[in-house]
Structure formats: C-alpha cells, structure tokens
Amino acid sequence: MITIPPYKDPPHPPITWPDNPPKPVHPREAALDRIETLLLERITALLTPPKPEPADDLPLTAARRRLAHQLGVPSVCGRVTCRRSRACRGEPKTCLAVALPLVWPETIRKLRLRRRAQRRDRVR
C-alpha cells in the first residue's frame, strides 16, 4: 500500500518594508495631482495636430453616381434605363457634365454643407 504524505504549504517569505515606507497623501494633494494631470492632458490635446479627415470611401464613379442621384439627374436623363430605374445606369460623368451647369449654385452649396456635416459626424 502506498501512503501519501500530508500536504504542507511552502514557507512564505517574511514581509519587509523598504527603507522609506510610503507616506500617506493628504486628500488636498491628491486632488491637486488629479487636476494637474487633467490640465496636462488637455494641453497636450490642444498642442497635438488634429487628425486628417478620412478620405471618402467611395471610388470616383460611385461618388459621381451618388451626386447625380442627389441632384435628381436620372429623372431627366436622356437614357430610358436611367429614367425607369430612377438611378444612374450609365457613365455618371457624362450625365453630370450636362446637368451640373443647369443646377442652381445654392443647391450645390447646400449639398457641400450637408457633406461636411456628415464628415464631421463620422469623425466624432
């Protein structure tokens, strides 16, 4: 028959304090340290240059097609497939070359402002 000896915990090393034990911190000093840290973080954030805006994810043709749709170009396009589907089905570059001179400048300005707002919302 095999006998198993009882388990014994290994000896723990004695707890020793360093030569200079930590001094208790006064609550006022702790608060000042937190404020100092926050101020330094904010100053660092102000001094770092802003991140560049992300480039548009869409390729050029898709961006043109989206602009044509926002301006309503497919509804007055010369191609029957564009008018029926109410979406640009051809090369949007040619459609925009015809339609952009006919669009009011105020409409283009509103679209630019809307696009900037969307980019700002996406960055945040």
pLDDT along the chain (124 residues), means of 10: 76 72 79 89 82 67 83 82 84 82 80 79 66
Residue at 3 is within a domain: no
Question: Which of 66, 59, 57 is CA-nearest to residue 95?
Answer: 66
92 in any annotated domain:
yes
Does 32 map to a domain?
A: no
* Run of H or E including 37: helix 27-47
The whole-model pTM stands at: 0.42
71 within domain boundaries: yes
Question: In this predicted structure, what is the pLDDT of residue 73?
Answer: 83
Residue 6 belongs to some domain of the structure: no
Question: What is the model's pLDDT at position 53?
Answer: 60
In a domain, 13, yes or no: no
Residue 6, pLDDT score = 80
What pLDDT score does 3 carry?
A: 78
- Note whether residue 96 is domain-resident: yes
Long-range contacts of 46-55 (CB under 8 A, 24+ apart): 51/123, 53/119, 53/123, 54/119, 54/122, 54/123
Q: What was the pLDDT predicted at 52?
A: 65
Q: Which domain holds residue 71?
A: 60-123
Number of domains in the chain: 1
Within a domain: residue 64?
A: yes
